[in-house]
């Protein structure tokens, strides 16, 4: 991906600096999980990003306090746990059962997680995320390789191998030499069009290993909506990474 991520801290506020090819100006965001990041054009300076965050300290502290209050209100309440499926967030409901299972009710926007009862509510919450994650990994292995091979065939791009990985910092990677692609299982949590963009992005790397102008021209040829997809990943990707880090 074209985003460069740096880590910094100001006045006790840890934050990320994201240098992005498509960024036109500096923007500051605070995720629902309390992650803070500033997006900036590649030509802007890190010092400028630090000054920008410093000027917005009041906003950041207020937003982080709101996050803390929501988390405090939801401690031990599994009904407040939200988990993503194909770009949408569903409220998780834990159902006591002897065998584990995950059922998605799209109409009600709920995920029913069947699992053995636990007296420790925090432990029950963490284990429910593990059950959901295992179900999503299984879903990723069922959907992502097939969809990747389908898109490769449509583009007449020879592809030898598609692997699903548990990558902590990347959504995908590829080997031009081996004609193979690795996808983060979390990509199955994206909307279909964003998922397809990520796959097409990696397929384009089989032609251009860097993020040169020719690379982005090929991406745009195959995926005209790539800018919208990149914005979705920038806005929602950190939250997806956060919830899957609660294991």
CA atoms within 13 A on the CB side of 35: 19
pTM: 0.68
Residue that the structure tokens 């990474």 belong to: 241
Q: What is the mean pLDDT of residues 113-142?
A: 85
Q: 83 with 68: CB under 8 angstroms? A: no
CB 157 within 8 A of CB 150: no
Three-state SS for 136?
helix
* Three-class secondary structure of residue 31 per DSSP: coil
Most confident of 90-104, 121-135, 221-235: 221-235
| Interstrand relation of 27-30 and 82-85 (parallel, antiparallel or unpaired) | unpaired
Written as six digits, the tokens of 123 are 């432990």
Domains of the chain: 4-74 (no CATH), 78-122 (no CATH), 139-244 (3.30.2010.10)
Coil, strand or helix at 123: helix
Indicate the pLDDT class of residue 77, thresholds 50, 70 and 90.
Answer: very low
Rounded distance between C-alpha atoms, residue 197 and residue 205, angstroms: 12
How confident is the model over 191-236, as pLDDT tens digits?
A: 999 999 999 999 999 999 888 899 999 999 999 999 999 989 988 8
């Amino acid at each position: 991906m074209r985003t460069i991520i740096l880590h910094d801290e100001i006045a006790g506020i840890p934050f990320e600096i994201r240098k992005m090819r498509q960024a036109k100006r500096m923007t500051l965001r605070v995720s629902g999980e309390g992650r803070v990041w500033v997006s900036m054009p590649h030509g802007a300076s890190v010092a400028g990003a630090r000054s920008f965050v410093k000027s917005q300290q009041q906003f950041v502290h207020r937003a982080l306090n709101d996050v803390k209050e929501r988390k405090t209100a939801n401690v031990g309440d599994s009904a407040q746990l939200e988990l993503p499926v194909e770009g949408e967030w569903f409220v998780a409901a834990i159902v006591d059962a002897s065998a584990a299972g995950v059922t998605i009710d799209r109409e009600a926007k709920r995920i029913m997680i069947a699992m053995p009862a636990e007296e420790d509510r925090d432990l029950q919450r963490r284990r429910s995320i593990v059950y959901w994650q295992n179900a999503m990994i299984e879903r990723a292995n069922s959907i992502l390789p097939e969809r990747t091979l389908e898109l490769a065939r449509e583009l007449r791009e020879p592809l030898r191998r598609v692997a699903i990985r548990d990558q902590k910092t990347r959504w995908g990677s590829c080997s031009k030499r081996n004609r193979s692609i690795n996808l983060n299982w979390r990509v199955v949590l994206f909307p279909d069009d964003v998922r397809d963009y990520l796959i097409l992005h990696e397929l384009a790397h089989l032609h251009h290993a860097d993020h040169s102008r020719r690379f982005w021209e090929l991406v745009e040829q195959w995926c005209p909506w790539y800018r919208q997809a990149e914005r979705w990943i920038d806005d929602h990707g950190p939250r997806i990474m956060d919830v899957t880090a609660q294991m």
